[in-house]
Homo-oligomer: A and B are copies of this chain.
Amino acid sequence: MRAVGLKERLVYREDWSEPVAQAGEALVRVSLGGICRTDLELVAGYKEYRGILGHELIGRVSQASAVWLDKRVVAEINVACGKCPWCRGGGDDRHCPHRTALGIRGRNGVFADYVTVPEANLRVVPDRVTDLQAVFCEPLAAAFAVLEALPSDGLDVLLCGDGNLGSLIAQVLKRRHRLVWVGRHAHKLALWKERGYDVRTTLDSAERFPIVVEATGNPEALSWAQSHLLPRGTLVLKSTTAAERHLDLNQLVVSEQRVVGSRCGRFEPALAALEEGSIDVESLLEATYPLQDGLLAFERAGTRGARKILLDCR
């Protein structure tokens, strides 16, 4: 079958063997896949992953138990082992030390004709949610995960980053907090300014917030983000970077600040928000490429300021 993946380098090939669903798994015909910053980091050597890339998808179930057959689905990306002490002790499956993760860790991804996924990971997409919206479910779930890292609602939050993830986080935060949103791309932020967001391209150096969310993916932004954090404040980190980042740990101690890592979220609130139409994902779309143009699509996704690039796998 056709797929885009990492061998010794990024490749598009038409001779990948078609996956075979194991017990408890579904075979999914992929409709759309979304290229994420993590995919670019994997190509750049983060985690030494080898295999088919991609973990953001919308597809249709092709083989599975009768209840799933022919359903339009998205899929949670982490697959826990279910057997280790962490899993047996009721630990969150997103943190099983032996987990696989779709297109990231020990399990082929979605930039392909077909992918296999445990049925337990599937979520039915409501009819009102289009394919184009549904493919944003995974990053939108990651945006909702930020809420889990915050101590309460109704806080003054500084969000750093106007990329795709940043734009999803902004929409999620605006529903429950007072948001100031800083990014480097005035042309991207203009749209949100029109919609009533408090957007900035700079910040007075004396401005401090009890909550700062770092979602730029830029290693240099971390020191800046911490410099705008109040004593006893919480800094939420959303991105992994291959490059080193500097956090001032003496400042952290003296000002009794906290730094919280945040990664994948649950799909339920993301699907619900898409269904009620309260999150705009359409304006985050840059372009859609056919699967066979995957290498071009990756190149475009890697250009500075690019919005979301999709792969059409049909």
Contact = CB atoms under 8 A, between A and B. Distances in A.
Contacts of A250: 240-241
26 contacts: A91-B231, A92-B231, A94-B231, A94-B256, A95-B255, A95-B256, A149-B256, A222-B249, A238-B253, A240-B249, A240-B253, A240-B254, A241-B249, A241-B250, A245-B249, A247-B249, A253-B262, A253-B263, A254-B263, A255-B261, A256-B260, A256-B263, A257-B261, A258-B258, A258-B259, A258-B261
A237 interface: yes
Interface in A250-277: 250-263
Interface in A228-244: 230-232, 237-241
B263 A95 contact: no
Contacts of A261: 249, 251-258
Contacts of A237: 249, 252-253
Contacts of A241: 249-250
B259 A239 contact: no
A152 B73 CA distance: 39
